[in-house]
Amino acid sequence: MGRRGEARLNPTGAEAMTKRLLALTLILAGMIGWATKVESAPCGGGVPCACGDQVIADTVLLPTDPVVLGVCPGTALTVGGAITLDLGGQTLRGSLAGRGVSIEHDDVTVSNGVVAGFLDGVKALDYDRIAVHHVTASANRYFGIILRGHDNVVTDSLALDQIGGRGMRIKGQRARFERNRAERNREGYGFNVIGDDAVLRDNAALDNGSDGFHVDGDRVLFEHNEAHRNERHGIVTDDAFGSTLR
């Protein structure tokens, strides 16, 4: 017997208690994971959008849409059709995971809003004829706006304060950047184009962590762009045969 008030567990009892505690921990972890899991559902065309949903019809986000009322744990919205997603002047907020808008179809337009705090603000890989207009991408981990495909365009948009990456990139033929601003993107270029026959017109690159404009492609038109106080060069071109700067 132990002293008064002293409790003893024999090895068998201690082992049983440890197993019970472990089981309880696993149950609680599963409950937390279940509670925070984002279920994807179709939205748009009058159906409100929540974090993780797939937009399948032309949509204007409203202040009452669940996706703009909090912070998304992963991708905010995925575009799954040839549609227009008007952010309605709202802000999509992330937790440095996923994408603000992930485009997974050709012929998509995204406009009029803010995407902040994701891995990438707006992203489309291997889709053509994507248009991004009047979008502000800020404080994302890698790219503010990144498009890969042909005939893609970004206009009247702002890439600001990306944490570890670049402002805007288009990779593909006939890219177009017009009237955009890339500022204080800490670890990379303001604007990056990879592909031939691009047009860069009336853009400004300020205080970025590398080159203001970095372009790899032939027959590129640079017209009325500005680059100030970037960490490296204002404008850098690689293999820019037949290009025009004015």
DSSP single-letter state for residue 74: S
Residue range 115-154, pLDDT digits in tens:
999 999 999 999 999 999 999 999 999 999 999 999 999 9
Furthest-apart CA atoms within the chain: distance in Å: 94
DSSP 73: S
Residues in the chain: 246
Residue scoring higher pLDDT (141 or 11): 141
Instruction: Return the residue matching tokens 């979008």.
Output: 135
* 145-148/120-125 β-pairing: parallel
Q: How far is residue 170's CA from residue 23's CA, in Å, rounded to a whole number?
A: 50
Confidence at residue 241, expressed as pLDDT on a 0 to 100 scale: 86
CA distance 147 to 23: 46
- pLDDT of 100-115, one tens digit each? 999 999 999 999 999 9
Instruction: Tokens for 137, please give them.
Output: 């991408």
Q: Which is more confidently placed, 35 or 238?
A: 238
Gap between the Cα atoms of 88 and 85, Å rounded: 9
The answer to which of 81-85, 94-98, 100-104, 236-240 has the lowest mean pLDDT is 236-240
DSSP H or E run through 18:
helix 11-36
Residue for token pair 């952010």: 87
Q: Which residues contact 119 (CB under 8 A, 6 or more apart)?
A: 94, 96, 97, 98, 99, 140, 141, 142
pLDDT digits (tens, 9 = 90+) for 184-242: 998 889 999 999 999 999 999 999 999 999 999 999 999 999 999 999 999 998 877 88
Distance, CA of 71 to CA of 92 (rounded, Å): 8
- Which residue, 168, 177, 215, 169, is CA-closest to 196? 215
DSSP code for 130: -
Strands 59-60 and 235-238: unpaired
pLDDT of residue 39: 67
Q: How does residue 3 score in pLDDT terms, banded at 50, 70 and 90?
A: very low
DSSP 145-206: EEEESSS-EEES-EEE--SSS-SEEEESTT-EEES-EEE--TTS-SEEEESSS-EEES-EEE
**What is the model's pLDDT at position 24?**
43
Burial 207-235 (b: 16+ CB within 10 A, else e): bbbbbbbbbbbeebebeebebeebeeeeb
Asked if 206 contacts 228 with a C-beta cutoff of 8 angstroms, the reply is: yes
